[in-house]
Amino acid sequence: MKTRKIILDCDPGHDDAIAILLAGSNPAIDLLGITVVAGNQTLIKTGINTLNLCQYLEIDVPVCLGSANPIIKNIEVCELIHGETGLDGFDFETLKRDFDSRSAVEFIVQTILDSKDPITVVTTGPMTNLALAIKVEPKILENIEEVVLMGGSYTNGNVSPAAEFNIFTDPEAAYIVFNSKLKVTMIGLDVTRQVKVLPEIISRMEGINTKSSILFTKLMKVFNENQKSVFGLEGGPLHDPVTIAYLIDPTILDLKYMHCDIDISHGPSYGRTNCDIFDYLHLEKNTFVAMDINSNRFWDIVEIELKNK
């Protein structure tokens, strides 16, 4: 089996945690390292959460701290959904892991330049670290196979009528990545809202009774409580793991290649991913946008990985 070498950049975050779980367990994924960004919570909290998750799941990869703030904006965390810790709902044992000495940008640049094989960069938080790495060392563009991101929406947003959280938090970073001429695959709210952690999913995964399923169940119960109180949802959309499930089985997504522009105009649509689905503007296409998802296959992938350990 051909494995896909990846760097995962994230802001754990309940759904990021499940993305880390999938990336750390499936043999199709060669997880080279995890870089952390502020987003769902402050950088130190998303960083500590990442170390705790790697310790609990026995994932032995470098964890590198990245940017504490977006490129232009100030950080506004998402405490209502992810809680004061950023990962409310699970009590980890005493942390014995520490951060790698390299910053996220140093790790991304060094790993990509040193790799004999092209690397896929997966982002499940604001895209600050990847954007800064591209600006610091543009040579990495020659050895990045694909950027797979959770973010954006070709319909409506989840932090404003127009914008999704990851893009809205750092629109300028997203603008840099979407205009980098890299292969960009955007997995937006349009498909992630189709994989809600409904009560029957909780029951299905709880019954597996492995370390991973215990983590999944405890985190998702809190995630769902918060999603219910904020959005009135019966189950939270499991956004971030769709990126990894796509790498495990690309057939779970229907993709359409189109021009996508990031609105950095500071108006009411600031941070919107303007997806030109019908090619009205006849601009150069730059993004593979996820239009639909095979939800049943997604949950099968999650179940398989929860059974793994």
**Catalytic sites, residue numbers:** 11
Q: Compare residues 109 and 165 and give the one whose CB is closer to ligand RIB.
A: 165
| The pair of three-digit structure tokens given for residue 147, joined into one six-digit string | 């950027």
Q: Compare residues 109 and 148 and give the one whose CB is closer to ligand RIB.
A: 148
**Binding flag, residue 86, Ca ion (CB under 5 A):** no
**Binding flag, residue 158, ligand RIB (CB under 6 A):** yes
**Binding flag, residue 75, ligand RIB (CB under 6 A):** no
The stretch near ligand RIB (CB under 6 A) out of 7-15, 60-68, 250-258, 262-270 is: 7-15
| Strand residue runs (E) in the chain | 4-10, 29-36, 63-65, 119-123, 144-150, 184-187, 253-258, 260-262, 273-275, 287-293
Question: Which one of Ca ion, ligand RIB, none interacts with residue 158, CB within 5 to 8 A by kind?
Answer: ligand RIB
Of 26, 40, 120, 287, the one binding ligand RIB by CB under 6 A: 40
User: One symbol per residue from 170 to 209: x for binding Ca ion (CB under 5 A), - otherwise; what is it?
Assistant: ----------------------------------------
With 0-12 / 13-18 / 19 or more C-beta atoms within 10 angstroms meaning exposed / middle / buried, residue 27 is: exposed
Q: Compare residues 33 and 237 and give the one whose CB is closer to ligand RIB.
A: 237
**Binding flag, residue 146, ligand RIB (CB under 6 A):** no
Q: Quote the CA–CA distance of 77 and 5 in Å, as a whole number.
A: 30
DSSP symbol at 196: B
Cβ neighbours for 174, distance < 8 A, ≥ 6 positions apart: 127, 131, 151, 152, 166, 167, 262, 271, 273
Q: Quote the CA–CA distance of 57 and 37 in Å, as a whole number.
A: 20
Minimum distance from residue 115 beta carbon to ligand RIB (Å):
26
- Looking at the DSSP assignment, which residues form a beta bridge with residue 258? 287
Q: Quote the CA–CA distance of 227 and 15 in Å, as a whole number.
A: 12
Minimum distance from residue 13 beta carbon to Ca ion (Å):
4
**Binding flag, residue 124, Ca ion (CB under 5 A):** yes
Q: Quote the CA–CA distance of 40 and 43 in Å, as a whole number.
A: 9
User: One symbol per residue from 10 to 49: x for binding Ca ion (CB under 5 A), - otherwise; what is it?
Assistant: -x-x--x---------------------------------
The stretch near ligand RIB (CB under 6 A) out of 12-20, 85-93, 224-232, 280-288 is: 12-20
User: Parallel, antiparallel, or unpaired for β 273-275 and 144-150?
Assistant: unpaired
DSSP calls for 82-93? HTTTSSTT--PP
Minimum distance from residue 116 beta carbon to ligand RIB (Å):
31
Return the ∠ at Cα 267 (arms to 266 and 273), rounded to 5°. 80
| The pair of three-digit structure tokens given for residue 223, joined into one six-digit string | 């995630």
Question: Which one of ligand RIB, Ca ion, none interacts with residue 164, CB within 5 to 8 A by kind?
Answer: ligand RIB
**Binding flag, residue 123, Ca ion (CB under 5 A):** no
Give the interface with ligand RIB as residue ranges (CB under 6 A).
11, 13, 15-16, 39-40, 78, 124-125, 150, 158, 164-166, 239-240
Q: Which residues bind Ca ion (CB under 5 A)?
A: 11, 13, 16, 124-125, 240
